[in-house]
Amino acid sequence: MTIQRRVLLQAGAGLLTGAALLPYGLHQARAAAPFRNDVPPAWYRFRFGEYEATIISDGRLPLGKPEPAFPASPPIEIVSLLRDNFLPPDAATLEQNALVLNTGRQLILFDTGMGESMGADSRMFGPTTGRLLANMRASGIQPEQIDLVVLSHAHSDHCWALVDANGKKNFPNAQVAVSEADLRYWTDDGNKRGPAFMTTFIDGAKKNLSAYRDRMVMVRDGGEVAPGITAISAPGHTVGHTCYSITSAGQTMVYTGDLAHHHVLLLQRPLWEFSFDTDPKQSAQTRSRMLDRLANDKHLVLSYHFPWPGLGHVVRSGSAYEWAAEPMDLTG
Ligand SMILES: [Zn+2]
Å from CA of 214 to ligand 1 middle: 25
Residue 17 has pLDDT above 50, yes or no: no
**Is the confidence at residue 100, as pLDDT, over 80?**
yes
Helical spans, DSSP H, in the chain: 3-21, 24-31, 75-84, 132-138, 156-159, 180-186, 197-210, 265-268, 280-297
Ligand 1 centroid, distance to 142 Cα (angstroms)? 23
Evaluate if residue 15 carries a pLDDT over 90: no
DSSP lists the bridge partners of residue 255 as 244, 302
Centroid of ligand 1 to alpha carbon of 113 (angstroms): 8
pLDDT at residue 86, as a whole number = 98
Higher per-residue pLDDT: 270 or 24: 270
Reduce the DSSP state of residue 225 to 3 states and report it.
Answer: strand
Instruction: Using the predicted structure, report yes or no on whether residue 2 has a pLDDT greater than 90.
Output: no
Distance, CA of 67 to chain centre: 21
User: From ligand 1's centre to the CA of 278, what distance in Å?
Assistant: 12
**pLDDT for residue 135 is more than 70:** yes
Distance between Cα 151 and ligand 1 center (Å): 11
Closest C-alpha to 147, from 54, 225, 47 = 225
pLDDT tens profile 245-284: 999 999 999 999 999 999 999 999 999 999 999 999 999 9
Report CA(250)–ligand 1 centroid distance (Å): 29
Measured in Å, residue 75 CA sits from the centre of ligand 1 at: 22
CA of 86 to the centre of ligand 1 (A): 23
- Residues near ligand 1 ion, CB 5 Å cutoff: 157, 258
Distance of CA 109 to the CA centre of its chain: 12
- Domains, the chain: 38-325 (3.60.15.10)
307 CA → ligand 1 middle, Å:
13
Distance in Å, CA 257 to ligand 1 centroid: 7
CA of 154 to the centre of ligand 1 (A): 9
Q: What is the pLDDT of residue 5?
A: 47
Mean of the per-residue pLDDT values of the chain: 92
- pLDDT tens profile 287-314: 999 999 999 999 999 999 999 999 999 9
User: In the structure, what pLDDT confidence band is assigned to residue 30 with cuts at 50, 70 and 90?
Assistant: low
- Average pLDDT rounded to a whole number, residues 109-138: 96
Residue 171 has pLDDT above 90, yes or no: yes
pLDDT band at residue 29 under the 50/70/90 scheme:
low
Sorting pLDDT into bands at 50, 70 and 90, what band is 332?
confident
Mean pLDDT across the stretch 59-85? Answer: 96
Average pLDDT for residues 14-33, to the nearest whole number?
54
Q: How confident is the model at residue 28 (pLDDT cuts 50, 70, 90)?
A: low
Helices (H) and strands (E) in the chain, counts: 9, 16
What is the Å distance from ligand 1's center to 70 Cα? 15
As a whole number of angstroms, the distance between CA 200 and CA 212 comes to 19
Q: Which residue has the higher pLDDT, 22 or 75?
A: 75
Q: What's the pLDDT at 19?
A: 43
Residue 51 pLDDT > 90, yes or no? yes
Ligand 1: centre distance to CA 260 (Å): 9
pLDDT at 8 (0 to 100): 44
DSSP 117-175: TTGGGGGTT-TT---HHHHHHHTT--GGG--EEE-S--SHHHHTTSB-TTS-BSSTT-E
Tell me, in angstroms, the distance from the centre of ligand 1 to residue 37's CA. 26
What are 235-247's pLDDT values in tens digits?
999 999 999 999 9
Element (H, E) at 2: none
State in Å: Cα 159 to ligand 1 middle. 10
CA–centroid distance, 100 to ligand 1, in Å, is 17
Measured in Å, residue 259 CA sits from the centre of ligand 1 at 9
Q: What is the pLDDT of residues 178-232, one digit of tens each?
A: 999 999 999 999 999 988 899 999 999 999 999 999 999 999 999 999 999 999 9
Ligand 1 mean position, distance from CA 270 (Å): 16
Dist. CA 62 → ligand 1 center (Å)? 12
Distance 185 CA to ligand 1 centre (A): 17
Instruction: Report how far ligand 1's centroid is from the alpha carbon of 111 (Å).
Output: 9
Mean pLDDT of the 132-152 span: 98
